[in-house]
Each structure stands twice: as C-alpha cells, then as structure tokens.
Amino acid sequence: MVKIVVIGSSSMDLVVTSDQRPGAGETVLGRSFKTVPGGKGANQAVAAARLGAEVYMIGCVGDDHYGTAILENFKQNGVDVTNVEPITDTESGTAHIILAEGDNSIVVVKGANDSVTPHYVKKSESLIKQADMVLIQQEIPEETVEYVSELCKELDVPLLLNPAPARPLSKEVIDSASYITPNEHEAAVLFDDRSTESALKQYPNKVFITEGKNGARYFDGDKEITVPSYRVEVIDTTGAGDTFNAALAVALAEGKSITESLQFANRAASLSVTKFGAQGGMPNRSEVEECL
C-alpha cells in the first residue's frame, strides 16, 4: 500500500442546483440546496484512500459544526487526521457552488485553510519524509506551496502539484515539483510567456495538461501524447480534477508507467462525474479496475 500525504484545504461545499446561472444584479429560483464535504485537498485525500492508498491529511478546519463534519467524513473514508487541527475562533473553509447549465461556478472562502502555513506544515516533517508521494493544491497560502516544494526537494520525496485554483508560480517551485497538473486555464496562467506546446516540451514527463472529457496531454521527451478520457453520462463535474490528481498520484507512487497512470486517472475521474457532489462519485479501486 503506498503512503500518500495530502497538504491542502478541507471545506464544506454549499451547492445550489439551478436551471440558470444568475447574471450580475439578477435573482433566479434554484431547484435544490445541499451541503456536502469538499475542498481540493480533502477531495484528493478521500479519492486516494478509496483507491487503496494509506492517506494522511495535513490541514486545518474551523471550530464550528462544519469542522466536526469534515473530520468525521475523513474518518469514514479511512483518511488519517492526526495532522488536521481545529483552529480556535475560525470558520471552516466553504465553497459556494452553483450547478447550472451543465457546469459549476465556485466561490471559495478559505477560512481555516489559511492557517495551513509553512510553520504549521513543518510540524509534520517526519511524516512527509516517509511519503511515497506528497499532493498539494492552491487553496492554502502561496508561501506554503513554496515551502513544501523546497522541503520535498530537500527530502527527496516526490511532489505532485495541482496548481488549482490558478495563480502564477515561481520557476523554482515549478522546477522543484516532480509532477504538475494544470488544466488549460491554469496552464495559461503558469506559462503565460509561451504556448502550452513549448511548456510541455520544456518539462517532459512532468507537466500533464488536463482537458476534461478530452483526456490529458504530456510530452514524453520525443513527442506529445494525448491519453484520451472515457465517455460517460455527466451529472456533476465538481471534484473530477481532484479524483484525477489523486488517482495519478496513487498510480505513479505504485510505479505504474506514465501512460498507465494517466489511463487510471482518466478512468477514475470519468467515474467521479456520474454522481452528485465532489466526493459522491469518487470510485473505489475495484470500480476503476473493472472499467479498465
């Protein structure tokens, strides 16, 4: 069983389903409202655990009822929460999601996720040292992503950086990470001075650009390769990227080839969109293997 350490956000998703998305100054009637666990870090931790990894979460929650529910959800999914602390007088992170017209729009309020500082993460250095793969995203402070990328390089632990949501990254961070998985929008922010083709060429077998239902692209040192995804009936795309990243981390940590790992990740992500909620459709290992 591979050991995955996830450093990132844990939130509660407040999800409104509606036929249409309101424009500025407009009010529309929604169909339903649901509260479900989310946050990119937590989603990736839960997805990796369902795929059979031993998963340790490093993060923060608020001292509110969402925080209690988030911790309970981790435990139910077999994620170790020894390194997830409730922060006094602080709200848990929340994501305010509208599902309309076949896609989602999300506003994230970081809350306690802002307390995942370099100083906080440093306390778990001995755990990070033992990881087969560290997974990180960007719903936590920028300096933490910088610190973790340096730390993983120093400790020689592979780091998979999911640069979501988009924000620019220094060349040092990009160079230190072992794998980077932007979607097309995030790739344009990361590599704003060049085309995605040249960015892929500059980082062979390291940068994987995800393109939703079209799969994922990378450069293998010789040519650009697209690993296609799978056609499914889409209910909710929230969390598909997180499932992809978790599955990719698990497969690479297990020693699968890059192509096999991307197929595994595409398969897991395609299953995740067939049910409601970021974590609702995240598959377990046997579901992915049966489909492959």
**Active centre residues (catalytic):** 242
Rounded-to-integer distance, Cα 66 and Cα 167, Å: 27
Residue number of the CB atom closest to ligand RIB: 38
Q: How far is the CB of 97 from ligand RIB (least distance, A)?
A: 7
Q: How far is the CB of 95 from ligand RIB (least distance, A)?
A: 3
Rounded-to-integer distance, Cα 279 and Cα 119, Å: 29
Rounded-to-integer distance, Cα 98 and Cα 88, Å: 29
Nearer to ligand RIB among residue 176 and residue 266 (C-beta): 266
Rounded-to-integer distance, Cα 67 and Cα 54, Å: 22
Nearer to ligand RIB among residue 38 and residue 281 (C-beta): 38
The 3-state DSSP class for residue 110 equals coil
Rounded-to-integer distance, Cα 143 and Cα 117, Å: 7
Rounded-to-integer distance, Cα 216 and Cα 210, Å: 4
Q: How far is the CB of 37 from ligand RIB (least distance, A)?
A: 8
The 3-state DSSP class for residue 187 equals helix
Q: What are the tokens at 204?
A: 């062979």
Q: Report the interface residues with ligand RIB, using CB under 6 A.
A: 11, 13, 38-40, 43, 95, 106, 108, 139, 238-239, 241-242, 278
Instruction: Give the distance from CA 84 to its chain's centroid.
Output: 17
Rounded-to-integer distance, Cα 251 and Cα 52, Å: 10
Nearer to ligand RIB among residue 81 and residue 157 (C-beta): 81
Q: How far is the CB of 126 from ligand RIB (least distance, A)?
A: 28
Q: How far is the CB of 239 from ligand RIB (least distance, A)?
A: 5
Nearer to ligand RIB among residue 40 and residue 267 (C-beta): 40
Q: What are the tokens at 242?
A: 């997180």
Nearer to ligand RIB among residue 40 and residue 50 (C-beta): 40
